[in-house]
Amino acid sequence: MTTLWDTLKNKAKTLHELAREFPNKTYRELEKYRDADRNEEAQRIYIQQENEELKEDQLTESQRKQAELEPIEGEEQDNPELFEWKERYEKEHKLRQEAETETILVKGIGMNSPEMKAANKKIEELEKEIDRIKKENKELYHRTDKPIDPKATLQKARESGL
């Protein structure tokens, strides 16, 4: 069995047709359902129109941003401010590229310079010296780590003439 709401959604009918289809409903109830259906349809149309307007606004906004980023040839003479920004951007871009190139060159030259080679050699010598000192330190520790035997110490003292 179809409900009144389904009937209203499928096809807009007059009150007389609705009354024939739903004889147990009062005219007042039928008017409420019909008005609710009209309000729902009006709301749906309103939302649909708003969505279309938003799409148009977004499209024009994106087109506007695209025009700012990539001006059409010949448009630069019409808009001196745009031309000025374009010149500034190109100048800044060129300066950044030059600075990056210089940085790379300085790093490359610095690693191969005689001063850097001498410093690396000195670092290697110091590392070898540290390793030698650590080894000696371990040997001294093991020599003193042994427990002292009092009898052996006394015997050595007698032999030496004490």
Of the two residues 47 and 74, the one the predictor is more confident about is 47
Q: Per-residue pLDDT for 129 more than 90?
A: yes
Give the separation between CA 157 and CA 149, rounded to whole angstroms: 13
| Per-residue model confidence (pLDDT) at position 46 | 79
Residues of the chain with pLDDT > 90, as a percent, come to 10
Is the entire prediction scored with pTM above 0.85?
no
| Per-residue model confidence (pLDDT) at position 123 | 92
CA–centroid distance for 112 within its chain = 37
- With vertex at residue 30, the alpha carbon angle to CA 45 and CA 14, rounded to the nearest 5 degrees, is 65
Using an 8 Å Cβ cutoff, are 14 and 37 in contact?
Answer: no
Across the range 59-70, mean pLDDT stands at 62
| Per-residue model confidence (pLDDT) at position 127 | 96
Of 6-15, 22-31, 77-86, where does mean pLDDT reach its minimum? 6-15
Across the range 53-72, mean pLDDT stands at 63
Q: Per-residue pLDDT for 91 more than 80?
A: yes
- With vertex at residue 66, the alpha carbon angle to CA 60 and CA 69, rounded to the nearest 5 degrees, is 145
Give the separation between CA 90 and CA 70, rounded to whole angstroms: 13
Amino acid at site 28: R
Using an 8 Å Cβ cutoff, are 17 and 30 in contact?
Answer: no
CA–centroid distance for 123 within its chain = 41
